[in-house]
Structure 1
Amino acid sequence: MSIPKQTSKRRSTTWSVSLVAVALAAAACRPAPTSGARQPAPDFALQTPAGKTLKLADLRGKVVLIDFWATYCGPCKDSVPELERLYRDKKAEGFEVLGISEDSFVDAVPPFLAEHKMTYTVLLDLEQAAGEAYALRGLPQAFLLDREGRILDRWFGWEPGNAAAMRAAVERALKAP
């Protein structure tokens, strides 16, 4: 039994449209590639758990990795050892990590810091104003800034390959004039 040409064409068109839709949906779920234009990072002033205020602008001249996270986020917990290792390895070269907690309750943060032995700067975004300024699409989400405070790269979520990609991006940024 043969399939009429019109039915065959319709199936082919349906499959083509379906494949395009799946490809677009998959692309939307992947990290956005870094654009060639280095956009200025939104400035913010947030407090540490100890009450000290830090402004992003105060770190001009350093390469900065901003990591938005929360104590309840499993992938965020997985990223901490790698971020800590990267920070310890590169801080003497002018590299800073800012871990911005998106937790609504400040009491959850200090025990988390102690448990995970975090030595990089942690800031509290209790009202999620910084997260909103960076248009977060979930946690964790990280942004790498150059010495002028422009966004060089970004990562959405945490996967095993992120550590190597972040390290390579940080090393390139540190070598840049």
Structure 2
Amino acid sequence: MDKKKRRLLIRTIILVVLAAAVIYTLYANFTKDERGVLKAGDQAPDFVLQDMEGNSHRLSDYKGQGVFLNFWGTWCKPCEKEMPYMENQYQAFKDEGVQVLAVNVGESDFQVNKFIEEHNLTFPVVVDSERDVQNAYGIKPLPTTLLINPDGKIERILTGEMTEADIKQHMESIKPN
């Protein structure tokens, strides 16, 4: 094989490798929204977060109960508006096997404690200070609520503000039989 043919072969191989890298990069970028996104029917990823008293709450500890998993922030007006409704329905459903777990995303204990006091919240409020759980669940807009059935599977993912009637209906849907 002469030098010209070998050079042509090497250049062709390099070109093919570069083209493959470009195609893979484009594919990865266009499909990244579909990868790692949770949907109804998926097992809810387990996590452990601390509440304001320093108690640990592990999602898997609630297996056998329905979990109304709400991601929120103190600055979020729709979140603030639905909190009293969540508290009312927590009181109605906590003895029927439905728990509320409110995950604050990345705010200070001071802000969260002030919010809990202002709204007289009695359900567990945990803080995701590093936003690890928010990222694991792929949570973008707040509020976002996941309805988790007693088997630990996601029934529904709800974004945006809910009325008290909505919350009651959703809690009823994840109540153990």
Q: Percent identity?
A: 31
Q: Where does the alignment leave 5 or more consecutive residues of structure 1 unmatched?
A: 1-33
- Which TM-score applies when normalising by structure 2? 0.74
Q: Partners in 2 of 1:157 and 1:69 — Cα distance? A: 10
Match of 1:113 in 2: 116
- The AA in structure 2 aligned to 1:157 is G
Does the aligned pair in 1 maintain the 2:100–2:124 contact within 8 Å? yes
Match of 2:47 in 1: 44
Match of 1:124 in 2: 127
Q: After superposition, where does 1:6-155 map in structure 2 within 5 Å?
A: 38-155=41-158
Match of 1:171 in 2: 172
Match of 1:26 in 2: none
**Alpha-carbon distance, 1:144 to partner:** 0.6
- Which TM-score applies when normalising by structure 1? 0.74
Give secondary structure in 2 for the equivalent of 1:84: helix
Q: Partners in 2 of 1:172 and 1:106 — Cα distance? A: 32
Does the aligned pair in 2 maintain the 1:144–1:154 contact within 8 Å? yes
Q: Partners in 1 of 2:136 and 2:98 — Cα distance? A: 22
Q: Partners in 1 of 2:167 and 2:74 — Cα distance? A: 21
- The AA in structure 2 aligned to 1:105 is S
Give secondary structure in 2 for the equivalent of 1:109: helix
Q: Where does the alignment leave 5 or more consecutive residues of structure 2 unmatched?
A: 1-37
Give secondary structure in 2 for the equivalent of 1:107: helix
RMSD, aligned α-carbons? 1.7
Larger radius of gyration: 2
- The AA in structure 1 aligned to 2:66 is V
Q: Partners in 2 of 1:166 and 1:110 — Cα distance? A: 23
Does the aligned pair in 2 maintain the 1:71–1:103 contact within 8 Å? no
User: Which piece of structure 1 moves more, 166-175 or 64-73?
Assistant: 166-175
Does the aligned pair in 1 maintain the 2:87–2:121 contact within 8 Å? yes
**Alpha-carbon distance, 1:105 to partner:** 1.8
Render the CA deviation track for 1:21-76: whole Å, top value 9, x for unaligned: xxxxxxxxxxxxx96x5110111000011111111011101100000011111111
- The AA in structure 1 aligned to 2:167 is M
Give secondary structure in 1 for the equivalent of 2:78: helix
Give secondary structure in 1 for the equivalent of 2:175: helix
Does the aligned pair in 2 maintain the 1:99–1:122 contact within 8 Å? yes
**Alpha-carbon distance, 1:118 to partner:** 0.4
